[in-house]
Amino acid sequence: MKIIDIINTGKVTVSCELFPPKHGSELDAAKTIVQKTAALNPSFISVTYKSGGETVDYTISLAKEVLNAGNAASLAHLTCVASSHESVRRTLEEFRQAGIENILALRGDIPDDNPFPTLSQYHYASELIDEIRDYGGFCIGGACYPEGHPESPTVQRDIDNLKIKVDSGCQFLTTQMFFDNNVLYKFLYKLSQKGIDVPVFAGIMPVTNRKQIRRIIELSGTVLPSRFQNIIDKFGDRPAAMKQAGIAYATEQIVDLIANNVRGIHIYTMNKPDVAGQIMQNISRLIK
């Protein structure tokens, strides 16, 4: 099923994100995680894709496992920063043969040692979206950054570039994680002003350990509100308490989002179906 059709039902949708293993020996365990996550009945499950395509086979395998589980639509990520047109088309054909109908089109992380690899024939996600649109048959999603892309000089410049992605054929957007809902509400208003009216899924990260936070800030530059920083300071050295507090904070964010008519929630599960399951249980009556 295509995600745009799920969105068009008008219901609140809750989806989950998983990442594939780095090694084939871990694939069976990853498939078990898919099955446990699918048992939670999310609207769809997305599977990430490493820049350069090193995990493409595992991404496809897990995306197929989502379909086999039968409880959720499948969304495969695809990056282009180190790709040629030919390699992207080959991957699109592999997706099609696997029965995958939805793609999250991303530029991907630029390697530190080579700003744009010689092999790459893409510089922007919008170029990948053009390629997928011309290939045909897929529902195309894109990423957005409520606090601005780390490489963009301003949030407004980032929104200008986002408009290009939408005009290229992006049918829905998923946000980078954020920890202050007001950041999202202001961002959605700016999108509306720019004429960007595609559905937006709010990306929620349940932070269950202190190490996650350091990595989040390093990669995305996400700002932590003081109330969330207080939680980390208080419970960060107590793993069980931090897990419980992180789930509670994510749940509170989602309750507020749904109350303010945000129709799509995307949970960055970090391959922890138990965490996703607790959140889904906490909001089960809100999404009926």
Catalytic residues: 17
3-state secondary structure of 224: coil
Neighbouring CB atoms inside 10 A of 74's CB total: 27
CA gap 282, 288 in Å, rounded: 12
**Residue carrying structure tokens 């963009």:** 152
51: CB partners within 8 A, 6+ apart: 79, 81, 82, 108, 109, 110, 111
- How far does Cα 123 stand from its chain's mean position? 20
Distances (CA, A) of 8 to 142, 261, 262: 17, 15, 14
**Residue 120, phi then psi, degrees to nearest 5:** -65, 130
3-state SS track over 59-127: HHHHHHHHHHHCCCEEEEEEECCCCCHHHHHHHHHHHHHHCCCEEEEECCCCCCCCCCCCCCCCCCHHH
